[in-house]
Amino acid sequence: MPLGGFPARVLTPWRGTTIPMQSTIHLRANRAFIFALVTAHGMLVLLPFLLPMSYLWAGLLTPLVLLSSLQWGLIHEGIHKLLLPDATQNERASRVLAVLMGASFHVLRFGHLMHHKMNRDWHSERVPAKTLLARSYYYANLFVGLYLGEMLTSILLTVLPRRTFMRVARASFLKGYEPVAIAGERFFYQRGNIRAVRTDTVVMLGFYATAFVLYGVYWPVLAVFLMTRAMVVSFMDNVYHYATPADNSKPGKELALPEWASLGLLRSNYHETHHLNPEVPWHQLPQVHAAQGRMFDGPWLAHARMQLAGPVV
């Protein structure tokens, strides 16, 4: 049944299987989530005025950390043009959410679309898994690296000329991945895209620089918040792809979660279903999962713990 008043679109059959349902954006829920997250970020500005009374007020940032996966989930919907029905509104809302997250929406979009093409973490197999370098890189990326990398990429694309950035990228994290480098050149050499990246990044840096100034001597509270968010976002990103076949024969894992937790992650635990049906909005992934006869690969928590074993080649 259509939700949110958005006209239904018939799903494209997957491998000859007709799915007896229609795809609709859950407009009402998406708008409510966007409003809640933008409002919650106002706490970052209000908190400095409460901290002088007690450090306990810092606990108000805990819900914002816990909502990081929901926020990324909404940005993810925006990347697939499933956040809001109007294309312009979809991009604007996605950019606001990304800026508050700490990166440019266009950087996140490019990275995620590359992820759909190469859904294994193509950095994790650059060096043999038993080396200290491989393990150090893996754990750094697992706990904070993904988040910091997205932020740093946004900043470098803003302060460096595009050609300089691509030379640096080719010589470092894109070394050996020429298809990704070529796609990056095509994407970021488009004037509209690079302008959007730079606008988003300037706003993001201005917002958080202002926040640090407001916090004054309490700046460690804000720093701990950002690092905790970095840990949540980075750790959650690889859960669905850790130790999956290197030949991409299984694009992601389906992991079982209680209903409330699945909703809090915006159904990202139905990850293989999403990869095979990227046109399906978050709230209909369980139905498509069932219609296609998919099974869960195990409990989410068990597979999250698996990542602590280290890099897999």
**Residue pLDDT, tens place only, 210-237:** 999 999 999 999 999 999 999 999 999 8
Least confident of 104-108, 128-132, 251-255: 128-132
- The secondary element (H helix, E strand) that includes residue 270 is none
The total domain count for the chain is 1
Would you say residue 313 lies in a domain?
no
Would you say residue 306 lies in a domain?
no
Distance of CA 235 to the CA centre of its chain: 11
Would you say residue 2 lies in a domain?
no
Where does residue 11 fall: left (phi above 0), alpha (psi -120 to 50 degrees), or beta otherwise?
beta
Would you say residue 99 lies in a domain?
yes
Q: What are 250-270's pLDDT values in tens digits?
A: 888 999 999 999 999 999 999
> What pLDDT does 209 receive?
95
For the chain, the first-to-last Cα distance in angstroms comes to 44
Would you say residue 217 lies in a domain?
yes
> What pLDDT does 137 receive?
83
* Mean pLDDT taken over the chain: 84
Range of the domain at 165: 24-239
pLDDT confidence of 135, banded at 50, 70, 90?
confident
Would you say residue 41 lies in a domain?
yes
Would you say residue 92 lies in a domain?
yes
Would you say residue 33 lies in a domain?
yes
d(CA 140, CA 10): 42
Question: Quick check: 282 and 73 in contact, CB under 8 A?
Answer: yes
| Predicted structure pTM score | 0.86
> What pLDDT does 120 receive?
58
